[in-house]
Amino acid sequence: MEAAAGMEAAAGTAPQTRTEAAAGRAPQTRTSEPRALGVNTWVWVSPLRGPQLSELAIRAKRFGFEVLELPIESPGDWDPGFAAEVLAAEGMSARIVGAMGPGRDLLEDSARADTQDYLRHCVDMAARLGSPTVAGPFYARTGRVWRMDAEERRRSVGVLREALRPVADHAAELGVGLAVEPLNRYETSVINTVEQALDALDPLLGRGVGLALDSYHLNIEERSPAAAIRTAGEHLLAVQVCGSDRGPVGVDHTDWEAFFDALDDVSYTGALTVESFTADNATIAVAASIWRPLASSQDELARTSADYLHELQRRRHAEQTGNQATNEGPNQAKEPPR
């Protein structure tokens, strides 16, 4: 292998990245059960407050969602006991996401300890509500961008690894996965791609740490979102989806068939949660650059996404199981469930 790599270098051909290698893999026979669908309360409100939980859970369930993704912008915004009661009443489950707002940054000495405490709090909330993951861009304040040369990036990665390690240990003890999310280049300088995430988090992967991937950021930063998903592979812990413009899923230019093929290939069985934002909240509109309505209403954004994803998964599952039965032959095809 080393000799082959040397020959490539001598010939002037750069070795393949993980993502390029993933793009060239042969497709597998795909069969998958439809994944649970969720929606982030950021679609409607920011910050989430306790009294809003019941209304939003009822609304999300009516639109066909089974999971409510709950952001923790500030500890104490909502009560986990009340949230558990509301979700149980609707037959829903929770996913927890963190927010790296002002004052939260693992790369800044003055903010590191408080940020670690905040992330431990998020992990505790996830454990209490039965969320298998806490997802978010857990490295620097969202929106902080600066130029880094190779040496500064190397130092930053070293600081990040050491800062995340105690949080990852705490998450592993509680059985919660810390799902670190790459963001696009306009929101961070630290981790933009799956390749960068795997390199930066390498010593921690599989030890309470994995990746959260958002279709919006993949669309901006990855040459092939599907190949990036395959590159994440077994380390993919959480997936968020939205239209390529942060609007509804399914009325955009994303190749959702390829996206789902990749999820099947890496055997991702977790929830798919719709994450978008409202332009009505000044704080989050600036943070997420939401300058115009992305649908006729926020309800329509959620409903359209749920309808499209349910139908896409239903059709894919029917096609996959039908093809499997055809390949098995008439004597081997399983009787359909009653």
Provide the annotated active-site residues. 181, 275
User: In angstroms, what CA-CA distances link 187 with 10, 146, 183, 190, 220?
Assistant: 38, 10, 6, 9, 12
Question: Which token pair is 245?
Answer: 């413009």
Do 36 and 272 meet the contact criterion of CB atoms below 8 Å apart? yes
Question: Which token pair is 177?
Answer: 């996965």
Rounded to whole angstroms, how far apart are CA atoms 82 and 69? 15
Cα angle, residue 262 at apex, residues 226 and 267 outer, rounded to 5°: 145
Residues 6+ apart with CB under 8 A from 239: 212, 213, 214, 215, 263, 268, 270, 271, 272, 273
Closest Cα to residue 119, out of 177, 77, 191? 177
Question: Which token pair is 268?
Answer: 């991702």
| Residue 97 C-alpha from the chain's centroid | 9
Do 266 and 237 meet the contact criterion of CB atoms below 8 Å apart? no
Main-chain phi, psi angles of 313, to 5 degrees: -70, -40
